[in-house]
Chain A
Amino acid sequence: MPKRTDIRKIMVIGSGPIVIGQAAEFDYAGTQACQALKEEGYEVVLVNSNPATIMTDEHMADRVYIEPITLDFVTQIIRKERPDGLLATLGGQTGLNMAVQLAEAGVLEAEGVELLGTPLEAIEKAEDREKFRQLMQEIGQPVPRSAIVRNQAEADAFAEEVGFPIIIRPAYTLGGTGGGIASNWREYHEIVERGLTLSPIHQVLVEQSIAGFKEIEYEVMRDADGTAIVVCNMENMDPVGVHTGDSIVVAPSQTLSDEEYQMLRDASLQIIHALGIQGGCNVQLALDPHSSRYYVIEVNPRVSRSSALASKATGYPIARIATKIAVGYRLAELKNPVTQDSYAAFEPALDYIVTKIPRWPFDKFRSANRSLGTQMKATGEVMAIGRTFGESLLKAVRSLEIGAYSLWTKQSDKWSNVELEKKIRVADDDRLFAIAEALRRGVTVEQIHDWSKIDRWFLWHLEALVDLEQRIAAVANPRLPIEQVLDEHRELIHEAKRNGFPDRELARLLKADAMAIRAWRKRRGIVPVYKMVDTCAGEFAASTPYYYSTYEREDEVETSARKKMVVLGSGPIRIGQGIEFDYCTVHAVWALQREGYEAVVINNNPETVSTDFSTSDRLYFEPLDVEDVLNVIDREQPEGVIVQFGGQTAINLAGPLADAGVRIFGTSRESIDAAEDREKFDALLTELGIQRPEGRTVTTVEGAVEAAESLGYPVLVRPSYVLGGRAMQIITNTNELLQYMEEAVEVSQQHPVLVDRYVNGIEAEVDAISDGETVIIPGIMEHIERAGVHSGDSIAVYPPQNLSEDVKRIIEDHTIRIAQSLQVKGLMNVQFIVHDGEVEVIEVNPRSSRTVPFLSKVTGVPMVQLAMHAVCGGKLADLGYQSGRVPESPAVAVKVPVFSFAKLHQVDISLGPEMKSTGEVMGRDLVYEKALYKGLLASGIAIPAHGTVLATIADKDKPEAYPLLREFARLGYRLAATEGTAKYLRERGLEVRVVNKLAQGTPNLADDIRQGKIQLVINTLTKGLKPERDGFRIRRTAVEHGVPCLTSLDTVRSVLDIMKLIHFQTMALGDPVPGEAGGEGE
């Protein structure tokens, strides 16, 4: 059946902001969907609140709406655009939930919009736990047994039938309080009894435990005719019990026999037939390692993170094909875009092994509970391809950018044996390294298997890698020239390279220099070749420009004689370096192509658009480490490398690459250094006569104290070379400073610490494009939260609402002069602080920043394209631009950060200099308050129309908080507060209900939050580093119960602005007119 001609216009719903569990993979899926639909000639209407994505680029769809994905807004867009069809299976859970809401609200039916692809009924059957279990029983697919029991006898009957281990969950207790896993009768009776007591309705859910089973996933596709295929299967190294998003995953499965592979394949296909899926689907299964028993864990009736991984792992573009199926095509009618010759109805054959490792945010959230379980915690992931397990695994390890280049890390030697056992038993982010270290210390594979239940296949392979490591270390001989050592052990070195060992690791083991090893290798011809990812293991000719390195014989890269440039991507999504940089990388590729170059991309993030092989002229799926990048450069011989679009990852490579003789295009390495090196930067600003908050660089604790005292508290302290404000703190006294110096940083000659005067003012930010002469400023953004909150966590407004024309002019002048003086070629980001009309520069980043996509979209200036013109040596003046600000747009846009706090337990949600957000949304409207309303709504902050506001305010903030709270009262909100705050407010005439602090026993404010008596929490931090327990617990309780919690009074003020807008004002005659509240203290 060819494509449908009865539909003309199709709406696509995206997945909104990046949060843990829903990341860049949906930009990749959504972008493919839009491209596939346009290719077929449909008119595409896109709704997504996330401005940092490629899919929300103006040319991706015919109509792009960056609006909140809520029932009201999407309904409004549907009524305006009148699409014939809706495609909602490519926007993650957000898109799917929106489709269900639209259907349930009757909007689809009323407006005549057809849901395309997998039918609603199938979605419901897959998503509803009970309906799904029932369906599995009907078709004879095994699911773990479970029952609800009300007493010990019922519990015993279940256990007799099912056997141990059994998971026990008391009904209606939050976060599973009182539950557990029982592996014998004694434990079972104990936990069941406790659970029955704790459960308010005296019910306990008992379920057969499958923890320790192998976790296997199948990515499947099905069309309306019932043709179904498996694109890829994947095996989690971590057995059932660790969320698949937090597991190390390999593709294809490694430890399954054909019989098992086919058994689970049959099960997956039977399930999608029974559900009636039309498109892509993910099936998760658990396989008993001791028999061939299996259980179905769950099904995702849509594209997912796993499907993005499977697409990159195989070359098979799942989202693109799923989209075509949704508009009526059958699999057998669609060509395989990789071979162009065979069809989409086939199953990819891999001739390599793929490893995925999650990237966790624990470097940012040091207080977070790092143990891994059923709640996903990773923000992103890396993927690597190799022809041996070692090659694939070790490439993935060094792609993580966590300072590990092998199975050894700096912590390895420091772990005690007890710690090792704990890390292996209870999985955490270090487990892989802990296993390697345990093997080094002689712990047996059997023992580790017993602790971790990880299949011995993986453990034996890890043991072989550790063994190889030790064999290399054994031949180290620092008395001989390294060349001689290497020559004598040439086969061993070759074996190490074939198993993925980087030169850095060989250098560590042989106590030599990595570049010397590299030079020797090149002389001896031990260099990688590049092989193609072609979906078919070489069976058919393909010309996919998608490659990975390996140490074998035949190289398959087909280069051309055209001039080319290498663009470095930004690696895994992490806090501080998100999808924005992938947006920039993709635009950099397009811009290069427009400039007449071939664009070669190196990146390792499977979730992104930049690693879609159809994006660039050639894609190298490789680690972004010096050796791997240099290898690609050796092979490609480009004119140069572009580092300014791949975030700090790429910028950090500029130095080592330049040292190796590679030409860095764009802003020179010296200029990058001048902006990043504190002293050089200070000298530059002094020369230009530009002010900056006074600061010192210190290398000792005493030096820090001295600096702080001479600058005067408060001070801002941070290590030099930071990403996303890591370990940055505002310090108010010497005690705090000493504590910080001891706990948060390592200070030394090599690791200086910066101490700056803290200025309490308005932060503003500029992204500029420069060719060294002309400096274009597309726009200035103002931050709502005052300085001290990381710019990535602040709400940013364009155009600025509170900056005078004079201030704007000064910002413009400073930006132009800095760019010219640094001879910036390309993008530059400058952060300012405005205080009493004075403008000071906080920092300059000579690269693209996280605001580039936002600013490009709201100003319409093609920023990356212009930057690339300058990078390639072109003049901006030739394109008709002149230095200075581009006229401001009449519409107001706000960028609102989005956090993933609900997923990360024990993480404080209060905002500070350290970045915590994972994503962002945009709100845009004709007036500021409406734009902000949309932004907050899109970010998931439900602004209550009435109810109770709970205030716990630090003493220093009380005068500022009072008028704001008075305003809430005037709008009809009830106030509740802890004793001190309540007293302060009552003295000023406000009616306040006093609530107990946590220590004052129950019922206290946490109970009120839990019981839904509080609709908004305002909590400001008392100064101090130790997270005070009360505030921390109040904030966590709010997050875990979905109650908005504001920790900055600036944000509170903005929320009030909105509330005033959405409320009609009812006033009695003679009342003071509200809104005049600002500033007054009494």
Chain B
Amino acid sequence: MMVNGRRKARLVLQNGLVFEGVHFGAAGTRFGEVVFNTGMTGYQEILTDPSYYGQIVTMTYPLIGNYGVNVDDVESRHPHVRGFAVRTFCEWPSHHKLVDQLESYLVQHDIVGIAGIDTRELTKAIRTVGAMPGVITTEDLPVESLLARMDEALVPDAVKRVTTQTVYRAPGAGHRVVLIDYGMKAGILRALLERGCDVIVVPATSTAEDVLRWKPHGVMLSNGPGNPEDAPYAVEALRGLIGKVPIFGICLGHQLIALACGAKTRKLKFGHRGANHPVKDLRTGRVDITSQNHGYVVDADSLQGTPLELTHINLNDGTVEGLVHRHEPVFCVQYHPESRPGPSDARYLFDEFIDLMTRVREGRFAHA
């Protein structure tokens, strides 16, 4: 079926809701958890953020692709989303950095897209029902058969699929930092390098010994996809690192620290994905607007009895956004201080990490 010269496509949710639109990007059938992102810019960073591995992302902003794609706005080597759903994709992008159009970029990376659908209705469906499995297809398959295959949306062991397979080093003259890649956004590495760090990126499966062998001044835990409970190996490694070296965790890294300290995580109904989430620092009262992308969250009640102290909360729903270890040089946040896309209000956290490593090296870290 063709509409105005384009092939028809459908997006089907597990609850049976069907959206008919036109196809853009690669053709085919892709299953994934359907989530929405409320950012108005930054689609290329979102596509290439490994935390979206296995997911179908819909953008709430209706015009996507306005400035095309370029070589700078990538958070990893290639897109990780399974599918991309938009109201309108831009056929006439304009930007001085532009190297390609969004559509050909998706074709090149075999990402199936759907356009022309009521993305606000889709967003509200996800908000009401919760993030759920779904499928985008350009094929003429009956809805029942698609619904029967919703298991294909599950992505076991997502972290292992997106982490680096090899250890590599980005040299610098400053603190030596081992960066554990659970599905790292390039922005985290960039933030460390900008601060002069000597960075060794290691796979998610690295043990505490693997990490400590580098004699790091600090360990940085990256973001990553999926449920933190699916990565017990990473929790195990962290148990061996806490207390031995300063640690800063972001997103999945933050959740893994919580698990390693005995707290629990739970799934949010539809997660936080966007560039406008207010986070309140409980110590100063100040609010930062942060970039977020997570479906799981640390359970605030489970912090009781752990050595972790709540430092930041989400102003909207009160969920845990930041923790600090009461005795050890360990802190972490649920949001993305490296931003990309999103506001850079929280970039200072990297400076605090540098400062923490300096204090520990100089023996100035005061154990509480």
Chain A residues in contact with chain B, CB under 8 A? 225-227, 229-230, 252-259, 261-262, 265-266, 269, 289-291, 330-332, 341-343, 345-353, 387-389, 455-457, 460-461, 463-464, 491-492, 495, 531, 536-541, 552-554
A332–B279 Cα distance when bound, in Å, is: 10
Contact indicator A460/B38 (Cβ below 8 Å): no
Q: Of B36, B70, B91, B120, which one neighbours A257 at CB under 8 angstroms?
A: B70
Which residues of B (278-320) have their CB < 8 Å from a CB of A?
278, 280, 284-287, 289, 315-316
Contact indicator A289/B121 (Cβ below 8 Å): no
Contact indicator A350/B40 (Cβ below 8 Å): yes
A731–B78 Cα distance when bound, in Å, is: 76
Interface residues on B, range: 35 or more
Contact indicator A255/B95 (Cβ below 8 Å): yes
Contact indicator A347/B315 (Cβ below 8 Å): no
Q: Of B92, B118, B119, B127, which one neighbours A539 at CB under 8 angstroms?
A: B127
Contact indicator B94/A345 (Cβ below 8 Å): no
Contact indicator A349/B274 (Cβ below 8 Å): yes
Contact indicator B38/A536 (Cβ below 8 Å): yes
Task: Bits for B328-355, please: 1 = Cβ < 8 Å to A, else 0.
Answer: 0000000000011111110000000000
Within 8 Å of chain A (Cβ to Cβ): is B84?
Answer: no
Q: Which residue of B lies closest to A254 (CB)?
A: B66
How many whole Å from B186's CB to the nearest CB in chain A? Answer: 13
Contact indicator B62/A388 (Cβ below 8 Å): yes
How many whole Å from A249's CB to the nearest CB in chain B? Answer: 16
Contact indicator B67/A257 (Cβ below 8 Å): yes
What 13 new A-B contacts, CB under 8 Å, besides A349-B40, A457-B66, A554-B121? Answer: A229-B289, A257-B70, A259-B340, A262-B343, A331-B287, A345-B287, A346-B289, A346-B315, A347-B289, A457-B92, A537-B274, A539-B127, A540-B127
Q: Which residues of B contact A254 (CB under 8 A)?
A: 63, 66
Q: Of A227, A230, A538, which one neighbours B60 at CB under 8 angstroms?
A: A538
A262-B342, A554-B120 given as contacts; is B94 within 8 A of A352 (CB)? no
Contact indicator A346/B277 (Cβ below 8 Å): yes
A255-B95, A457-B93 given as contacts; is B121 within 8 A of A553 (CB)? yes
Q: Of A289, A349, A463, A531, which one neighbours B276 at CB under 8 angstroms?
A: A349
Contact indicator B274/A539 (Cβ below 8 Å): yes
Contact indicator A350/B73 (Cβ below 8 Å): no
Contact indicator B343/A256 (Cβ below 8 Å): no
Contact indicator B73/A456 (Cβ below 8 Å): no
Contact indicator A347/B276 (Cβ below 8 Å): yes
9 CB-based A-B contacts, threshold 8 Å: A257-B42, A343-B278, A348-B276, A388-B62, A531-B120, A537-B60, A537-B274, A538-B123, A552-B118
Q: Which residues of A contact B277 (CB under 8 A)?
A: 346
Q: Which residues of A contact B123 (CB under 8 A)?
A: 351, 537-539
Most buried by B among A291, A347, A388: A347
Q: Which residues of B contact A343 (CB under 8 A)?
A: 278, 315-316
Q: Which residues of A contact B284 (CB under 8 A)?
A: 225
Which residues of B (136-182) have their CB < 8 Å from a CB of A?
none
Q: Of A289, A351, A352, A456, which one neighbours B92 at CB under 8 angstroms?
A: A456
Contact indicator B119/A541 (Cβ below 8 Å): no
A254–B94 Cα distance when bound, in Å, is: 10
Q: Which residues of B contact A553 (CB under 8 A)?
A: 19, 117-118, 121
How many whole Å from B323's CB to the nearest CB in chain A? Answer: 20
A347-B276, A351-B119 given as contacts; is B315 within 8 A of A257 (CB)? no
Within 8 Å of chain A (Cβ to Cβ): is B61?
Answer: yes
Q: Which residue of B lies closest to A290 (CB)?
A: B96
How many whole Å from A595's CB to the nearest CB in chain B? Answer: 35
A841–B214 Cα distance when bound, in Å, is: 97
Task: Bits for B32-72, please: 1 = Cβ < 8 Å to A, else 0.
Answer: 00001011111001000000000000001111001100101
Q: Of B3, B36, B289, B341, which one neighbours A258 at CB under 8 angstroms?
A: B341
Contact indicator B92/A388 (Cβ below 8 Å): no
Contact indicator A539/B4 (Cβ below 8 Å): no
Secondary structure class of chain B's binding surface, majority of residues? loop
Q: Which residue of A lies closest to B347 (CB)?
A: A266
Q: Which residues of A contact B10 (CB under 8 A)?
A: none
Contact indicator B124/A538 (Cβ below 8 Å): yes
Contact indicator B62/A265 (Cβ below 8 Å): no
A225-B285, A343-B278, A346-B278 given as contacts; is B39 within 8 A of A538 (CB)? no
How many whole Å from A140's CB to the nearest CB in chain B? Answer: 15
How many whole Å from B194's CB to the nearest CB in chain A? Answer: 14
A388–B93 Cα distance when bound, in Å, is: 15
Contact indicator B73/A257 (Cβ below 8 Å): yes
A315–B95 Cα distance when bound, in Å, is: 29
A352–B340 Cα distance when bound, in Å, is: 22
How many whole Å from A391's CB to the nearest CB in chain B? Answer: 10
A869–B286 Cα distance when bound, in Å, is: 51
Contact indicator B343/A495 (Cβ below 8 Å): no
The 3 A-B pairs at the shortest CB distance, nearest first, are namely: A460-B92, A258-B42, A554-B121
Within 8 Å of chain A (Cβ to Cβ): is B88?
Answer: yes
How many whole Å from B307's CB to the nearest CB in chain A? Answer: 28
Contact indicator A351/B120 (Cβ below 8 Å): yes
A536–B120 Cα distance when bound, in Å, is: 11
Q: Which residue of B lies closest to A269 (CB)?
A: B345
Within 8 Å of chain A (Cβ to Cβ): is B254?
Answer: no
Task: Bits for B80-92, please: 1 = Cβ < 8 Å to A, else 0.
Answer: 0000000110111
Q: Which residues of A contact B70 (CB under 8 A)?
A: 257
Contact indicator B40/A252 (Cβ below 8 Å): yes
Contact indicator A554/B124 (Cβ below 8 Å): yes
Q: Which residue of A lies closest to B93 (CB)?
A: A457
Q: Which residues of A contact B88 (CB under 8 A)?
A: 387-388
Contact indicator B63/A456 (Cβ below 8 Å): no
Q: Which residues of B contact A554 (CB under 8 A)?
A: 118, 120-121, 124
A350–B42 Cα distance when bound, in Å, is: 14
How many whole Å from B92's CB to the nearest CB in chain A? Answer: 3
Q: Of B61, B63, B120, B286, which one neighbours A227 at CB under 8 angstroms?
A: B286
Q: Which residue of B lies closest to A471 (CB)?
A: B4
A257-B95, A332-B285, A457-B66 given as contacts; is B38 within 8 A of A537 (CB)? yes
A342-B315, A553-B121, A554-B124 given as contacts; is B62 within 8 A of A539 (CB)? no
A460-B92, A552-B121 given as contacts; is B316 within 8 A of A346 (CB)? yes
Q: Which residues of A contact B94 (CB under 8 A)?
A: 255, 455-457, 460
Q: Which residue of A lies closest to B69 (CB)?
A: A257
Which residues of B (246-283) have their CB < 8 Å from a CB of A?
274-278, 280
Q: Which residues of B contact A262 (CB under 8 A)?
A: 339, 341-344
Within 8 Å of chain A (Cβ to Cβ): is B97?
Answer: yes
How many whole Å from A20's CB to the nearest CB in chain B? Answer: 32
A269–B274 Cα distance when bound, in Å, is: 19
A563–B344 Cα distance when bound, in Å, is: 50
A331–B280 Cα distance when bound, in Å, is: 11
Q: Which residues of A contact B339 (CB under 8 A)?
A: 262
How many whole Å from B80's CB to the nearest CB in chain A? Answer: 17
Contact indicator A227/B95 (Cβ below 8 Å): no
Contact indicator A291/B96 (Cβ below 8 Å): yes
Q: Which residue of B lies closest to A390 (CB)?
A: B88
Q: Which residue of A lies closest to B62 (CB)?
A: A387
Q: Which residue of A lies closest to B98 (CB)?
A: A257
Q: Which residues of B contact A265 (CB under 8 A)?
A: 343
A536–B19 Cα distance when bound, in Å, is: 22
A387–B87 Cα distance when bound, in Å, is: 8
A657–B312 Cα distance when bound, in Å, is: 56
Q: Which residue of A lies closest to B289 (CB)?
A: A347
A342–B73 Cα distance when bound, in Å, is: 31
Contact indicator A491/B276 (Cβ below 8 Å): no
A266–B289 Cα distance when bound, in Å, is: 11
